[in-house]
Structure formats: structure tokens, C-alpha cells
A and B are shown apart, each in its own frame.
Chain A
Amino acid sequence: MKHLLAGASIALMSLTGAAAAEEYPERPVMMVVSYGAGGATDFQARIVTMTAGNEDALGMPIAILNKPGAGGRVGWNWFATQADADGYTLAAYNVPHFIAQSIKGGVEYSTDSFEPIANWGADPAVFVVAADSPFNSMQDVVNYAKENPGKLTFSGAGLFVGHHIAALQIEKAAGVKMAYIPTKGGGAAAMKAVIAGEVLGGVNNLSDAFRAREAGNVKILGVADLERSDFLPDVPTMMEQGLDVDNASVNFRGVMVPKGTPQEVIDKLAATVPEMFKNSRVASKMEAGGSPMLVMNREEVQAMWAKRQETLQALLAGL
């Protein structure tokens, strides 16, 4: 009897699901951002969703809801366990953050808990030092770390976020031990530690580092990505400087829904959301803010998640 009831209710749900999907979305949609108002993810999420109400996009506005805490764990935990899987609750993802956290454990989500929709941005990690630092290249940093094992302090925005991944990769590639100092309060606090001279260097977001360099406060020594960035054509990648660091730490930002969301809704979102990101107004605002865009569709994001899962599992296995 129980089975029958369960089966009936599932059938009913999928029926209503199909009916609802045609009309979707009928009311404003909410998007959870796992970081505080004013952070880079929040800022970009607000820009890329600003045209959602247009007829050629969703036709309904997307409202941003911040659930910050513990490097994103609070928001994603909530999203994985408590959000309604009806397509009216979206979330912003940050890769590699949530994947690294799920591998490390102690959270209630993994890549299997979410369905990606589309990617809007890719912000590589860079290595920064204060403007008056004696270091002028990654080689200088590595040499210092070799002579003073464990004494080169460098900041980043927390444990098991993109910055930390980049830090681990740099240490592994150079075969040195350095002192990674996670800060509370995101990239801004980590950048402040570098500028104030509390630490000798730091890993930070390319967009924030670009601004800090414009203000004359820091030098950028290397980009942890496969190619040089358009914003920083003069800064070599880690690979160019002989450090085997790939793009595993690049902070990919995009939209996802909880597992169990009706397939029709996922399809509809996967078709419209990437087009929404490509809107010219969105692109100009993102560029003005120094935020690198990278629009990827659902299949591309699925492939990217799977690849990150593999890389990070290998990298974090030793920890």
C-alpha cells in the first residue's frame, strides 16, 4: 500500500511538474548567494541577473538572498537540505570552493546534490606581494621559501576555497613548505594583510588584485591559470615561470538548482540563462567592474565539475 501511495504521489508530482514547467516561471525567482552582500560573488550575481525580468530572458526578476558564513558552507548546506526543488530557488556556485569542501567533509552536499545550469564568470587566483616587497617574480618567492622553510607567510580567503587550492598547488609544484594564513572576511581581508605588511605575500582574486595594483598598492607576480588574462597581459602564468600549476583554483561562478528539480524546468533554465548572461548590458557592467566573464552552458559546466572533482580529490588526498 505504501509503495502504491508513493508511486501515485510521484506520478502526480511529475504530472504537476510537467504542467508547471510550461508556465515556469510564474513568480519571481530567488537566488541564494553563499557570501555576504558586497563580496565579489554577490556583486557579480546581482549584475548577471539584472536582466532576468526581460521578456527574452526569464520574464521574471531574480532576487538575491545572501546566506553567508564559513566560506560558503552555510548557504550551500541550506540549499542542499532545505531549499525547494521547484525551480524557484536557485543558488550561485563557486567552484572549486564547494567541491573542495565536500571532499574535505563535514558538509551535507557534494557535486551530486546540485544540478548546474550555466556558468557566468571565471576569476583566476593570482599571487600578490606589497608594492615595496623585494620579491619580483615567483622564482624569488620560491627561493625565499626554500631558504626559510615554513616561514614565508601568505594570506588567502580561507581554507578549501580557490585561494587555498592555488596555495597548495604552488607549494606542491615548487616542492616547498610555506605558511598559508587563512583570513576571516574574504579576499578583502587577505588583501589588507598583504598591503599592511602583516604577511609577505598572498593569493587573491585577479579582479581585486587588478584594482589594488591600479591603486599602486601591490605587485602581481603570477596568474594561476592556463593563459594570461586580458586584464593583466603583462603578468606571466605560473606555468611560464616553471611552476606546474593549472587552472584548478580558478574561481568559476555560475547558477545551479537543487537535485530533484523537474527536468523541464532545468531544460528551460539551461536554455535561457546562458543567453541572459550574454546580454550586452550585463557584459559592459561586468567589464567596468573588472570581473572576467566566461559563459558556459550546462553540458560544459557538468564536464568542468567532473574534472575539478578528480583534480581536487588527488590534491587534497594528502591533507
Chain B
Amino acid sequence: MEFIYYFGDVFSPLSFMLLLGGTIGGLILGATPGLSPTMAVALLIPFTFQLEATQGLILLGAAYTSTVAGGAVSAILLKIPGAPANIATTLDGHTMAKQGHGAKALQLSFLSSAVGGIFGVLLLIFLTPVLADWALAFGPSHLFWMAILGVTVIGSLDSASVVKGLLSGCIGLWLSTIGFDDIMGAQRFIFHPSLGGGINIIAALIGLFAIPQVLTMFAKGRNSGAAEVIAVQKHSVLDALRELIRRPRALTIGTVTGSVIGLIPGVGGQIAGLVAYDQSKKFSSESEKFGKGHSEGVIAAESANNAMVGPSLVPLLTLSIPGSPTAAVLLGGLLIHGIFPGSDLFDNHPEVAWTFINSMLIGQILMCLFGLYIAGLAARVAQVPQSVMAAVVLALSVFGAYSVQSSMGDVYVMACLGIMMFFFERYGFSAAPLVLGLILGPIAEANFIQGSMIANATDGMTTYFLGGALNKLLITIVLASIAYSAWMELRQRRSQTPADKTEVRT
């Protein structure tokens, strides 16, 4: 309960100003394509040089929380996921925006972000010691199985059929091998200097999601001539709140999945949203609506990616090990003021630690309020004529891909993948499984190599990868996930008569 004593510090004039500034700035940075939360926080570090430790951290904490949520804005309105965390948001969110429900999608996304985010920070406050053990429990073999679990999701994620989903997942896995191999340093498939660093995930995200859409918009403009005007429906915040309360399942699955997966160092943040999306689809009574502008999809994805924020800081604050790139940047922000995370932080600088954590709690609420305010305004983006929109999205895509590491190479990668995806989509392939393959490939590979090196030096591959309670549990979940997907596919085929191919009830 110690944290309550430090709530006052958050509301001192300067701190609160920083909190407000960090939140608003974070929302804007987060909504800018190509600026991931890690980049946004790194950009703010120089500003904290001049501030006291507590105030500096308030700024960074607020920015971290709101950039993650801000990513939803470009994901929903422009179909450009700002970071891997927002991929799942595009699936239903952008479809909703295209149907004129952009305001609703944004409101739902900010409300569920706040719920997930507050739950995550509360976990950080109350369960930190327990969670720290959990974060440490995941060794190479477990992370390998986690990645495989992610692969099993690929088949059922947003594709016309399981086979096509798996195929695009495989393409993603192959793309992820391009570049220097991270452990051995071997060069693979580097046929152009831009590929030396492998395929940058942010550039790939922008290309795969935004470019096919730009091309489609241009193509439409040429064909019909008549600009398609979407009627943007106003949507009251109260209705959004009611909708959220009516969907407790998606919200719970999103929040819990996000918190649990977000904790795992190195894996969590990137796949939390996608796994939560997939899980709530599997458990939903209306799973056929997913991908067609269903509110549950947005709720699950956004509650998951903000729920991850709090737990992802557990390894940093307790063990002094940054569990994610953003946590590593925050570590820099602490070190610059001579504060070492770990027991030193909570014993000798409790005011820094708790004010920081409290500010993330208040930050979630502020983020939600500002988010709801801009939701109404931002949703009008859909009324912009398609040809103008296509140009804007294209410009933002180029800017986003370039800004990741100031490199034209990433822009070429984005363009090539985007054009490729445009044609793939015409044959019923989808970008989400491809991206998941791209993210999971390196995780599975690096952990398998590392695990097998440890295994060869100790008790052998079988014991290392198949033994132990956690391994067995993960393998069981993997098998269950495969069995479930197979069962669903079979059932779907059986119930599908040639007459009603489009109407499939599950």
C-alpha cells in the first residue's frame, strides 16, 4: 500500500504538467507511423537530463503508456500499425473505420487500453515479487515453445483458409532469415546492401499493411471515377462504454493474456496483441464476425497491448534486467540520475519508484480522456477523398519507414513487400500471418540454437526441450491449439454445403 503515500507527488504542478505533456506528446508520437514506443522514449531521454530523476521518469512513463495506445490511431484510421503491438488492432479496427465506425473503434480502443493498462500497472504494484520469478522462469526451451505456440496461431489468423494462412506464415518465416544471423553472425540471402540488417520489422509492417491499401485506393480511383464517400457516424462515449461492458469476455481475455505474455522478456510485447486477438476469436460466440469489423477484435487487441506495459517493467524494476527494448531505454533514463533499478530503487529511492509507477496509473486515465476527445475528430479522416487519402498514406509510409533508422534501404524493403502483398491479397493471403512469421522466426531460431548449445553441454536435447513442467505445459497448449484449429477447419468444411459457402455458422 506504500504507493498511495506518493500519489501527492504526481500532482505537484511541474510533475503534472510533465505528465500531461508526456501523455499528449506520446499520443501524437504514437500515432506517427514508424515511431515505435521505444523510439519515442529514446527521443525524450535528452529532455530528462535537465529534470530531476522523479520528473524525468514521469515524462518517460507517461510517454511509454500513451505511445502504445496512440499506435492504435494510425492502425485504425490508416491501417498503418505503428508497432508490432498494434497489428491485431488493424484487423478489425480498420475495417470498422472503413464502414464509418472509426469513432466507435477509436473510443473502444482507448477505453479498453485504459482498462488493460490500469490492470497491468496494478499487477506491477501488488505482485511484482511473484511476477519476477515468473519472468525468470522462461529459459531458451520455453521461449522456443512459446514461439511455436505463436506459429500455431498463424493458421487461424485472418485468412481465407488455414492452408493460405500457413503459407503466408512460411513466407514470413523465410523473410525473417534474411540478413546476418544474430547468434552465429552468418550472412544469409543478402542480395542487396539494404538487407544487411535483415528486414526491419517496422518497415515491413508499414509495407505489408499500408501499401496494398494505397494501391487499392489508386486502382479504385481509376476505375469508377466516382469518389466513394463514407458517412462517418457519430458515436457517443457512453455507447462505447456500454459496448465495452457488454463484451466482458474479450476484455478479460485481452487483459489477462496481455499481462501474462507481456511479462516474458523479449517475446511479450510483440505478440501479446495477436495472441489475445486469436484467443478471444476462438472463445467468442461470434467468431465468424472477426476480421469484418467486429468490436471484440479491437477490444481484445488493445486491452492486451496496454496491459503488457506494467508487467513488462517487472524484470527491470526488480532484477535490473530490461525485458524489452523500451525498458532498456527507461533503464538509461534511470542510470543517468545515478539510480540503479532493483532493491536499491525501492529501498533508497522509494519516492522515485512509486511516483513513476503512480504516474503511469494516472497517465492511463489521462491518455483515455485525451484519446476519447481526439477520437471524434480523428474519425473524420475517413471522409477525405480516396485519392487524397492514398497520397497521404503513401507519404506517411515512406516517412515512417525512413525514420526508423534514417535509411533509404528500409523504404525499398517497405515498397517491395508492399507491392508483393498487394498481389498476394488478391489470392486470399493476408498480411497478419506473414508478419507473425517474421516476428516469431528469429525468436524460435535463436532460442533453439541457444537451447541446443546448453542441452549439448548438459543433459541432452530430449531432456532439455521436452522435460520439466513448464515445457510440458507449453507443449500441451501447442497441441491443444493445433487440435482446435484442425477441428474448427474440419467442422467448417462439413457444415459447408455448396449452396451457402459464405454463411458459415460455428
Contacts and interface: CB of A to CB of B under 8 A. Distances in A.
A106 B187 contact: yes
Interface stretch (A10-18, A168-176, A208-216, A243-251): A208-216
Contacts of B340: 211, 214-215, 290
A15 B319 CA distance: 56
Nearest to A46: B45
B38 A38 contact: yes
B183 A182 contact: yes
A211 B332 contact: no
Given A71-B185, A74-B196, A150-B457, A288 B325 contact: no
A181 B328 contact: no
B183 A198 contact: no
B139 to A, nearest CB: 4
A73 B180 CA distance: 8
Contacts of A185: 266
B325 A106 contact: no
A253 B196 CA distance: 23
A288 B186 contact: no
Interface stretch (B160-168, B271-279, B290-298, B446-454): B446-454
Given A69-B197, A70-B182, A181-B450, A188 B457 contact: no
B338 A289 contact: yes
A78 B405 CA distance: 12
Question: Considering residues B325, B332, B342, B407, which has the most beta carbons from chain A within 10 angstroms of its beta carbon?
Answer: B332
Interface size class of A (residues with CB under 8 A): 35 or more
A69 B322 contact: no
A232 B446 CA distance: 33
Contact of A38 (B181, B329, B456): B329
Contacts of A71: 180, 182, 185
A67 B405 contact: yes
A143 interface: no
Contact of A192 (B136, B330, B336, B457): B136
A160 interface: yes
Interface in A179-209: 179, 181-185, 188-189, 191-193, 195-196, 198-199
A158 interface: yes
B184 A215 contact: no
B136 A68 contact: no
B61 to A, nearest CB: 15
A50 interface: yes
B137 interface: yes
A70 B183 CA distance: 7
Contacts of A216: 342-343
Nearest to B331: A38
Contacts of B406: 30, 65
B328 A37 contact: yes
A192 B331 contact: no
Contact of B197 (A38, A67, A104, A183): A67
Nearest to A288: B338
A179 B182 contact: no
Contacts of A42: 332
Interface in B235-266: 265-266
B450 A183 contact: yes
Given A74-B180, A184-B442, A216-B343, 10 more contacts: A65-B405, A69-B196, A70-B179, A77-B196, A153-B453, A211-B342, A215-B319, A288-B338, A289-B336, A289-B338
Interface of B: 38-39, 42, 45-46, 49, 136-140, 179-187, 193, 196-198, 265-266, 315, 319-322, 325-332, 335-338, 340-344, 405-407, 442, 446, 450, 453-454, 456-458
Instruction: Enumerate the 6 nearest inter-chain pairs by beta-carbon distance, A residue then B residue, closest first.
Output: A38-B328, A215-B342, A70-B180, A288-B338, A179-B457, A289-B335
